[in-house]
């Protein structure tokens, strides 16, 4: 099964195109589960996972952000609590939700030999179906990741991201009136012709750019990972409307929400007693937003 088939299969099985970002911040954890990171982080997510299964409400991808886990490592003290928490969380995702792709968000990209090592880390050592990467250093840094798509894996290349500073470089305009993000899109299309499973990260906070890019990708079956929904202000409903308008296959898109699902109490700081239910409620809302637009 290639990566596109994995995406379609999981969206059909779990009735969702939402990607749940796993970005642990222990400051927002309920007091009753606070412990060392290797215990508290998996316990936090497992409690939510059990509630999802109980209520039959699911995402169709998980995206652990490596940096959020590794912040809890203290390598010079030989303490790898964050890495253990990441490994345990990935195993929990596999055990509770068979067939749901796991996207390791680590945004790597280096010269060819180094990229090969990072690709081994993501696909083999962390055993994820997909990873996020940066295209900044060009083809020789991207191809070591692309080669893993031949084994049914996927990659998501940063294209037009959802952060405020994205415009600093991604919206630079060339003499031919083409923006940098458009040049990256063309290169992604080029790579996808040889490597199925080549995808792109395009944020929900830049809807004009999203529409321009999705028009191109709809013709080439390029999977989209769309962050920025929820706490960053993007709207799942608006995203779906744009994708439908340009004829994009919704089965291969994943709309990501991270803290919007995991920490809906983040703004007011008041953690409800039924906190796991509250998290699943947010996932349910996103799934329903998409249903009403289908």
> How many CB atoms neighbour CB 118 within 10 A?
20
Q: What is the per-residue pLDDT for 177?
A: 87
Half-sphere exposure in the Cβ direction for 38 (13 Å, CA): 8
Look up the pTM and report it.
Answer: 0.95
* pLDDT (tens place) for every residue of the chain, 294 residues total: 999 999 999 999 999 999 999 999 999 999 999 999 999 999 999 999 999 999 999 999 999 999 999 999 999 999 999 999 999 999 999 999 999 999 999 999 999 999 999 999 999 999 999 999 999 999 999 999 999 999 999 999 999 988 888 888 888 888 888 999 999 999 999 999 999 999 999 998 778 889 999 999 999 999 999 998 865 567 888 999 999 999 999 999 999 999 999 999 998 889 999 999 999 999 999 999 987 555
At 52, which CATH number? 3.20.20.70
Catalytic positions, please? 107
| Residues 34, 29: Cα–Cα separation, whole Å | 7
Q: What is the per-residue pLDDT for 230?
A: 61
Question: 141, 112 in Cβ contact below 8 A?
Answer: yes
Total residues found in the chain within this entry: 294
Q: What is the per-residue pLDDT for 233?
A: 61
| Residues 75, 278: Cα–Cα separation, whole Å | 35
User: Which structural domain, as residue segments, surrounds residue 236?
Assistant: 3-291
Number of domains forming the structure of the chain? 1
């Amino acid at each position: 099964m290639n990566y596109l088939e994995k995406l379609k299969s999981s969206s059909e099985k779990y009735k969702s195109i939402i990607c749940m970002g796993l970005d642990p911040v222990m400051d927002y954890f309920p007091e009753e589960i606070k412990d060392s990171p290797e215990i508290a982080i998996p316990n936090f997510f497992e409690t939510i996972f059990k509630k999802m299964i109980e209520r039959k409400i699911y995402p169709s991808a998980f995206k652990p952000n490596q940096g959020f886990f590794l912040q809890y490592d203290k390598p010079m003290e030989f303490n790898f609590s964050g890495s253990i928490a990441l490994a345990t969380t990935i195993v929990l995702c596999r055990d509770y939700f068979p067939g749901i792709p796991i996207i390791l968000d680590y945004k790597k990209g280096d010269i060819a030999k180094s990229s090969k090592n990072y690709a081994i880390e993501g696909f083999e050592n962390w055993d994820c179906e997909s990873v996020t990467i940066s295209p900044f250093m060009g083809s020789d840094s991207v191809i070591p990741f692309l080669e893993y798509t031949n084994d049914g894996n996927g990659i998501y290349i940063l294209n037009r991201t959802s952060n405020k500073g994205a415009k600093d470089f991604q919206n630079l305009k060339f003499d031919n009136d083409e923006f940098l993000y458009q040049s990256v899109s063309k290169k992604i299309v080029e790579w996808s012709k040889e490597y199925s499973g080549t995808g792109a990260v395009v944020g929900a906070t830049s809807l004009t750019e999203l529409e321009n890019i999705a028009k191109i990708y709809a013709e080439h079956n390029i999977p989209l990972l769309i962050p920025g929904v929820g706490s960053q202000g993007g709207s799942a409903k608006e995203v779906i409307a744009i994708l439908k308008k340009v004829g994009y296959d919704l089965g291969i898109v994943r709309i990501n929400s991270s803290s919007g699902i995991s920490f809906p109490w983040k703004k007011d700081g008041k953690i409800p007693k039924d906190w796991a239910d509250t998290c699943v409620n947010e996932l349910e809302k996103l799934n329903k937003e998409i249903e009403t637009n289908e």
